[in-house]
Amino acid sequence: MSRKKILEVKDLETSFFTDDGRIAAVDHISFSVEEGEILAIVGESGCGKSVTSLSIMGLVPSPPGKITAGEILLDGQNLATLSEKEMRQIRGKDVAMIFQEPMTSLNPLFTIGNQMMEAIQIHNKTWTKKQAKERAIEMMKLVGLPRAEELFKEYPHQLSGGMRQRVMIAMALVCDPKVLIADEPTTALDVTIQAQILKLMKDLNIRLQTAVLLITHDLGVVAETCERVIVMYAGQIVEQAPVQEIFKNPQHPYTKGLIQSVPDMRYKKDALYSIPGNVPKPGSIQKGCRFAPRCEYAFPRCSEENPELYSKTKAHTARCFLLDSENEVVLHAEMGGQVNGERIAES
């Protein structure tokens, strides 16, 4: 049975206006998240993942940033057209966010209880202090915090990193949001705590059916947690597929490089793989495929035209000319089936 699309991002463009001109950090991307789904957005730093999440939250610093095109439909309501005052009614209630570093997101001067009750009472103005406290403690227990009543009176510095991140998750879920955005939620944690937090997020997703948009550079996190994956590169979506499909059958050379870069302790390798080169700096993007300077399969057309998203299957698309069936015919005819000395995979 198909699920309702709770978040639809349509042709979104977010730009920054600098002394060097307008730079589109997010360049006409479209995707949707269904109720109860966990969707990951992956890519290296500077690919536009975090600007996408800040655009949804209405938190793009303005100036210099601004949503310059497209729609962000949350349960049908276009967030891109709302004023800051209107967004304040939505943020934290209908769409909430967990940030990377919980210590910088929690106020060190207030107790955990104060901060949780504030998050509740902003959106539930008629609630009494007793009701807000009961809800806060209920959520603290739900995220597995031990001795919740005592922690309620403690300050952030008295908690470990993992406990602080659990508090952040409790605060984000306290108003029962439709969509939870988690921006690198485990990056600042050590590996065992990371695994616990990911398990917690997955359990809560199943239990509460909250849609989750997980922003990460870590494909290991994606494999354990998500149903579908979007890969972003230089502000654009370059591949989109169900999680198993993307690991088994990646189509875009960038996705292949990201998968190859995941350390695998089962195999002894002389050196860990890394994709050569760097993500182009915003404002220095050349014509043609944005990945071409780093792509081992690049051929002349790649430096002339920016590829569209081609369909491998209904649920799997990739922005690469190697998926253009017409292109393949030309290539095989002109180059004897070779691209940069390598034969194109037969499909």
- Binding residues for ligand SF4, per CB under 6 A? 252-253, 289, 291-292, 295, 297-298, 302, 307, 320-322
Q: Which residues, in sequence order, are bridge partners of residue 7?
A: 33, 74
Using only the alpha carbons of the chain, give its radius of gyration. 22
Shorter beta-carbon distance to ligand SF4: residue 54 or 302: 302
Residue 152 or 291 with smaller CB distance to ligand SF4:
291
Residue placing its CB nearer to ligand SF4 in the complex, 303 or 313: 303
Find the shortest distance in angstroms from Cβ 44 to ligand SF4. Answer: 15
Peptide bond into 64 cis (omega under 30): yes
> Least Å distance between CB 49 and ligand SF4?
19
At residue 14, the 3 state secondary structure works out as strand
Classify residue 76 as left (phi > 0), alpha (psi -120 to 50) or beta: left
10 Å Cβ neighbour count for 18? 12
Taking the least distance from each CB to ligand SF4, the nearer of 100 and 251 is 251
Per the listing, tokens 């709302």 go with: 82
At a CB cut-off of 8 Å and minimum separation 6, what does 342 contact? 296, 297
Please state the closest distance from residue 254 (CB atom) to ligand SF4, in A.
7
Structure-token pair, residue 259: 């998968």
Q: Treating both helix axes as pointing N-terminal to C-terminal, what angle do 112-123 and 129-142 enclose, rounded to 10 degrees?
A: 110
HSE of 338, CA atoms in CB hemisphere, 13 A? 5
Beta carbon nearer to ligand SF4, 47 or 211: 47
- Both tokens assigned to 264: 């695998």
> Minimal distance in Å, beta carbon 70 to ligand SF4?
24
Residue 112 or 302 with smaller CB distance to ligand SF4: 302
Compare residues 146 and 337 and give the one whose CB is closer to ligand SF4. 337
Q: At what angle do helices 161-173 and 129-142 cross, to 10 degrees?
A: 130
Q: Residue 318 CB, nearest distance to ligand SF4 (Å)?
A: 8
Least separation in angstroms between residue 228's CB and ligand SF4 is 21
For residue 10, give the 3-state DSSP assignment: strand
Q: Which CB, 20 or 304, lies closer to ligand SF4?
A: 304
Inter-CA distances, 295 with 241, 261, 337, Å: 21, 15, 17
- Going by C-alpha positions, the residue among 34, 8, 5, 41 that lies closest to residue 235 is 41
CB of 283 to ligand SF4, least distance (A): 20
Q: How far is the CB of 235 from ligand SF4 (least distance, A)?
A: 15
Strand order in the sheet with 211-216: 95-98, 179-183, 211-216, 38-42, 228-233, 236-242, 316-318, 310-313
